[in-house]
Amino acid sequence: MAGKSFSKLAAVMFALLCLGNLARADDMEKLKTALDARQEKIVTIAAFTANGNLPELKTALNGGLDAGLTVNEIKEVLIQLYAYAGFPRSLNGIQTFMTVMDEREKAGIADPAGAQGTALPAGTNRDAYGEAVRMRLSGVTEVPAKSGYQLFAPGIDVFLKEHLFADIFGRGVLEFSDREIATVAALAALGGTDAQLQYHLNAAMNVGLSQQQLAGIISVLEKDVGKNESAFAGKVFGEVLKKRSNINP
């Protein structure tokens, strides 16, 4: 048993080293104090995909392309959101994006495709890779003991590590910070996701987003999505900041 535990820990640490290039890229986000236009559109695309407001999503998708998001970056946002908002909302978002692309092509607008998402290399230890990603998002350097839902329903923990944090987060194209912007916006739009929103607000800061940038997400939600969504996100964000200040006075 001890040998098995050591082997898994070694695999996790190796995966963390492999993620080093992503960590350096995310560290660049610390130099910023506010969301740029591209990031603001990730907020609205994610929020309207999650809440199913397809007319507003269509506007947000056009705005995202105009703001500099590539076609494949938007595809990655829509793909990732199935893990948080479900296949129906994700597929509706993809269908809406297809309509937008058809209309823009007919109007003579040529949008850059950008880099395409790829699967992890064959033979990747997806459990270890996913654990490494989750550790980075959680801001920890050691694998924590399993607890709560991990013990009650271990299957979901496997899916979280091997599918969400390995298969999806490992596709590239988007920085972890961009994926967390999308996730925070989607969870705020869904509502009733206090625990998950707390986790991902912390995760967003752990991968380099500043408090000002997270406040920027809430500002975009208030301006472009709805006051209920922004109020919910603001309440949870306040709780997160209070807890973090108590941990790091």
At 81-104, the pLDDT tens digits run 999 999 999 999 999 999 999 999
Residue 71: what pLDDT?
Answer: 97
Domain containing 126 equals 2-247
Report whether pLDDT(139) > 80: yes
Nearest one of 190, 204, 191, 221 to 88, comparing CA atoms:
190
Radius of gyration of the chain (CA): 18
Helix, strand, or coil (residue 35): coil
| Confidence at residue 4, expressed as pLDDT on a 0 to 100 scale | 42
Give tens-digit pLDDT for 185-243: 999 999 999 999 999 999 999 999 988 999 999 999 999 999 999 999 998 988 888 88
Show the tokens assigned to 173. Answer: 């194209």
Q: Give the chain's mean pLDDT.
A: 85
CA–CA separation, 32 vs 17, rounded Å? 25
Q: Is 199 helix (H, G, I), strand (E, B) or coil?
A: helix
pLDDT at 3 exceeding the cut of 70: no
One-letter amino acid of 231: A
Cα–Cα distances in angstroms (integers) from residue 193 to residues 74, 147, 167, 244, in the given order? 23, 20, 23, 19
- For residues 105 and 128, is the Cβ–Cβ distance under 8 A? no
In total, how many domains does the chain have? Answer: 1
Q: Where are the extended beta strands (E) located within the chain?
A: none
CATH number of the structural domain spanning residue 189: 1.20.1290.10
Interatomic CA distance for residues 170 and 202, integer angstroms: 20
Two tokens at 114?
A: 């950008």
**Which among 74, 53, 65 is positioned nearest to 104, based on CA atoms?**
65
Q: pTM for this one?
A: 0.82
Choose between 229 and 30: higher pLDDT: 229
Judge whether residue 8 has pLDDT over 60: no
- C-alpha atoms less than 13 angstroms from C-alpha of 47 in its C-beta half-sphere: 31
CB 125 within 8 A of CB 165: no
Q: Is the torsion defined by CA of 50, 55, 57, 60 positive or negative?
A: negative
Give the pLDDT mean for 20-26. Answer: 46
Q: What per-residue confidence (pLDDT) applies to 113? A: 95
- pLDDT at res. 247: 63
Question: Cα separation of 9 and 32, whole Å?
Answer: 34
